Amino acid sequence: MNKQNVISIKNLNKIYFKNTSKSINALNNLNLEVKEGEIFGLLGPNGAGKSTFINILAGTTIKSSGMVNVWGFDLDKNPRQVKASIGIVPQEINVDPFFTPEKLLELQAGLYGIKKEDRITNTILKLVSLEKQSKSYSRSLSGGMKRRLLVAKALVHQPPIIILDEPTAGVDVELRHNLWENVKLLNRQGVTIILTTHYLIEAEKMCNRIGILNNGNLVALDSTKNLLKRILTKKVTFFVNSQVKIKENLFDSLNIFENSSAKLVISYEKSKMNISKLISYINSQNIQIMDISTDDGDLEDVFVRLTKN
Ligand code: ADP
C-alpha cells in the first residue's frame, strides 16, 4: 500500500439502469485519492453522485467498473476488510429512542463481533462529549447530541477512516460548530475524514482538500486554499439603456445572471478577466452605462459556476 493514500479510486464508473433507455451515469471515470490524516470534502449539488460514491465505499452499491482501494485493500478482492476500514456516519438520524448511548455502542460492537474486553465504549463516549449522557435514553438527547452519537457508532470498530454524509444538515449553527470541533479532534487523533456537504462554509472551515462533483464528473480537485484563491469572483451589475449583446465565450470566466434592456448582471474571476475590457465592449455597442454596482462574489456563486455545465 502507498502509505500516503488511504483511499485510491481509479476510473470508477457507476451506471444505473445500464443498457436501458433510462441509464444514468452517476459516476464518470472518477479518479481520486485521499491521503492519510486529511479532512477531505466532497462537494456537489443534489444528484452529483456523492451518495453513490459513499455507497460504493460502504459496499451497499455495486460499482459498474473501475478500481477502489481502501486502506490497502481492493474492494473486489477484500470487501470485508474495506468495510472494516471505514466508519460511516449516515445522514439520517436513526437511533433507537429507548436505548442509552452506552447500550447502543455495546450493541454496535456486538454487530462487529468485537469482544467485550476489546470494546472502548467509554473512550468513544468521551471523544464525542457524551460521557455525561451515557446512561440517558437516546430520545432525551438534543439533535446535536444524536448526531454525535451517530459519529460514536461509526467509531466502535476503530476504523482509520470516517465518512460523514452531510454531517450538519439541519443542525443549527451553534451545534454545527460543536460537531466540527469533535470531528477535528478525531482527526487530530489520526483518523482520516471524508465529508460530503453542500454547506460551502463547512468545507472551507474543515477541509484540507476539496473535490467537487457535478453530474458524476469531478469538476475540481484541489487544496481548499488553492480552490478559494482560484475561484475568487466578483459580481458586477451594469445599469444600461439597452440590452448588451454578448458573444458566448468571448470573455474568460464570464457568467451572466441577467441581461435585460435595463440591467446586465455578471460575475467573473478576478484572475482571468479584466473588467475594463467588458466596459469597452459595452461602449463599442453605443450603449450607455448609467451606473455600476459591484459585489465580491461569495462561495455560493463559485459553486454555481463550477457546477454549471
Ligand atoms: P448526490 O448524493 O450527490 O445527491 P446521488 O449519488 O444520490 O447524488 O445520485 C446521482 C445520480 O444517480 C442521480 O441522477 C440519481 O437520480 C441517480 N441515482 C442514485 N441512486 C440511484 C438508484 N438507486 N437507482 C437509480 N438511480 C439512482
The whole-model pTM stands at 0.78
Same-domain status, 202 and 267 = no
* Residue from 179, 111, 181 nearest 151 by CA: 179
What atom of ligand 1 comes closest to residue 61's alpha carbon?
23
Q: Give residues with Cβ within 8 angstroms of 230, minimum separation 6.
A: 222, 269, 271
CATH number at residue 210: 3.40.50.300
Report the pLDDT averaged over residues 75-103.
Answer: 91
Same-domain status, 256 and 276 = yes
Check residues 48 and 228 and name the one with the higher pLDDT: 48
Ligand 1 pocket, residue 49 CB under 6 Å: yes
In-domain check, residue 64: yes
Segment 91-122, tens digit of pLDDT: 887 888 889 999 999 999 999 899 999 999 99
Ligand 1 pocket, residue 206 CB under 6 Å: no
pLDDT of 302 reads: 62
What atom of ligand 1 comes closest to residue 17's alpha carbon?
25
Last residue of a domain, one of 229, 259, 276: 229
Number of structural domains in the chain: 2
Same-domain status, 62 and 7 = yes
- Tell me: pLDDT of 1 over 70: no
Q: How far is the CA of 187 from the centre of ligand 1 (A)?
A: 29
Pocket residue to mutate for ligand 1, from 51, 57, 213, most atoms within 8 A of Cβ: 51
Last residue of a domain, one of 204, 229, 254: 229
Q: Whose CA is nearest to atom 23 of ligand 1?
A: 16
- Of 10-19, 55-64, 171-180, 247-256, give the lowest mean pLDDT range: 171-180
Last residue of a domain, one of 169, 203, 229: 229
Q: Are 108 and 88 in contact (CB under 8 A)?
A: no
Segment 193-238, tens digit of pLDDT: 999 987 777 888 899 999 999 999 998 898 888 877 666 778 899 9
Provide the domain limits for residue 269.
233-297
In-domain check, residue 180: no
Segment 118-155, tens digit of pLDDT: 999 999 998 888 999 999 998 889 888 888 899 999 99
How far apart are the C-alpha atoms of 172 and 76, rounded to whole Å? Answer: 40
Check residues 87 and 90 and name the one with the higher pLDDT: 87
Ligand 1 pocket, residue 119 CB under 6 Å: no
Same-domain status, 3 and 66 = yes
How many alpha carbons fall within 13 Å on the CB side of residue 4? Answer: 2
CATH number at residue 245: 3.30.70
Ligand 1 pocket, residue 47 CB under 6 Å: yes
Same-domain status, 38 and 81 = yes
Average pLDDT along the chain = 89
Residue for grid cell 466508519: 87
In-domain check, residue 111: no
Same-domain status, 66 and 29 = yes
Residue for grid cell 463547512: 202
Q: How far is the CA of 140 from the centre of ligand 1 (A)?
A: 34
Ligand 1 pocket, residue 167 CB under 6 Å: no
How far apart are the C-alpha atoms of 137 and 97, rounded to whole Å? Answer: 6
- Tell me: pLDDT of 242 over 90: yes
